[in-house]
Structures are given as structure tokens and as C-alpha cells.
Amino acid sequence: MTNKTTHALELHDVTKRHGAGDTAVTALDRVSLSIPHGTFTAVMGPSGSGKSTLLHCAAGLDRPDSGSVVLDGYELTDADETALTRLRRERMGFVFQSFNLVPTLTVAQNVALPLEFAGRRVDEREVRGLLSRLGLGDRLDHRPAELSGGQQQRVAIARAMLSRPAVVFADEPTGALDTQAARDVLHILREAVDASGQTIVMVTHDPVAGAYADAVVFFSDGRIVDSMTRPDPASVAARMARLSAPVRPSGHAPPSAVRPSGHVPSSAVRQSGQAPSSSVRTSGHAPSAPAPQNGRARHGGDGR
């Protein structure tokens, strides 16, 4: 079922529980989120907050217990496995912390693999051009073991973007990289949004990585409890510290938390430095964040 909208990804009252009975854990608690086309959104939160479950449900890798997920106008919730597999091949790209490259294939073959699985024609000139733009033009015939970690992640990014997916999901893409390699990968992701209008949803724990995004959505206990536009590393780190702080003895939530019944007003998301009319919308109330002076984050910290 399709329902074309201006949003690349929409979640409506999504709930996901793991386990059953007294041991059940609510990983997502009635989460609603809308992400416009051509934007870069970072999802952050303490360990166990639900951010990875959000990514899995949004990508159709896991099914929510209730609510709906719409990707590029396609309703995922009721789709069968065959339809989901087709949508993942045609409308989604994936970048993982562990790269997930096939060790026996060359760089060019790894990049073209999803198109071959989908039965689509591979344009070798396009593959070479994409890899050249990512600084891998002289590595086409190398195998993953002959590349650095940063180079392997750039291959994974090329593989995710070759099919021009509606959304690229990145799960801790800089988590296994050193500072310089992390900076390079984040610049590539940022450029894909600004130059090509790619939509990216990235799960990360790193405030510096989060500051490359147009907006940051913060999770805690399975709920969106905060959001920030025009993020900078210091503001993101401060917000994360408050989320990780212990709850006060009186039972009141820390200042960054919001009431479950709260509402988040529209928060503008930049595209190529401009604020579009569409915005990331969430189910929680987010105070405005200070804008960085240069309007764009620079990776100056540890990308691990």
C-alpha cells in the first residue's frame, strides 16, 4: 500500500516489546516521528534506550507490535517478507559499524552486489564514478582485507547509495573508526545530503557525529524525550549527559526529559544550509538548541 507524502520516513504510535510476561521490556513506547526527504537525522540516547530498535523497525528488519511505519509512501507494517525484501533492496540502503563486505569480492563487486541481487543492470561507469568521488578510484580491484577500516566503510557507503535509495540507515557508522577516518565518513554522509538530496537516518553515541546532522532526536526508555536542530558537539554532549543522569529521589525527571503527553512543535531541518518548510516532527517537546556559529559541525573529537 502506498500513500505518497513529503516525508521519507514516518512512524505513527509505534510500540515494540521484547520478551513476555513479567520479563517483558518495552523497547519502543508509542513513538511517532516524521523525517522529510533530503535531511540528515541522528538518533541518540543511552544504551538500551530504544534507538537501535527504532532503526530496525523503520527499516522493516523487525515488526512493531502496534502502530505503523511508512517509508517513502510504502506502508511496511502489513507487508509480507517478500515485499519487505524487495523494498529493502530498492528503497533502502544500509551502513553498519562492521562494514559487512564480502571478503572474496573486489571493491567494485561489493558495491554492485545489491543491484545484482535485485536483478538490476549494473552500470560499471557509475560504480567507478561513485568510488572515485569517495576517494577509492584506485582501489576498484582490491579486496576488503587490503583496505583500511575507513576505506572499507567508504565502500559500504558506496554500496548503500548506488541504487539511490529513499533512505540510508546508518548504525554507528563511525564506531569502529579512528578520528580521521570517522571525520572522512561523516563528511561523505553530509555531502550526500547537501549535494544529492539523500535522506540519512543515523544511530550514534558520538556527540561529534551527531553534530553533522540537521537534527538530533534523543531517546530514553523507549520514548523520544528531546530533539535538537542545528546541533553542535557541546550542546549534544550536554543533552546526552542530562539523559544519562540518575533520576532525582523525588521521582521527577531531569530537566531534559519531557512528559509522555507532551508535544513537539515543528523544528526546522536544514538542507544545504537553508531551513525548508518541512521539519522533523516527534512526539515530545524539545527546547530550542543554540545554533553553531559556523552553521556546520566540524569533526574535532574522537569518532569512536
Each residue's pLDDT tens digit, 87-113: 988 899 999 888 999 999 999 999 999
Contact (Cβ atoms closer than 8 angstroms) between residue 266 and residue 281: yes
Q: What sections of 162-270 are H helices per DSSP?
A: 179-196, 207-210, 233-244
Is the pTM of the predicted complex or chain greater than 0.85?
no
Mean pLDDT (the chain, rounded): 83
Q: Which amino acid is at 161?
A: M
pLDDT at 276: 41
Q: d(Cα 40, Cα 42) in Å, to the nearest integer?
A: 7
For the chain, percent of residues with pLDDT exceeding 70: 79
The owner of cell 559499524 is 97
Q: How confident is the model at residue 211 (pLDDT cuts 50, 70, 90)?
A: very high
pLDDT value at 269 more than 70: no
Q: What average pLDDT does the segment 241-270 reach?
A: 50
The owner of cell 567508504 is 154
Higher pLDDT, 21 or 303: 21
Contact (Cβ atoms closer than 8 angstroms) between residue 158 and residue 195: no
Each residue's pLDDT tens digit, 270-285: 333 343 434 566 654 3
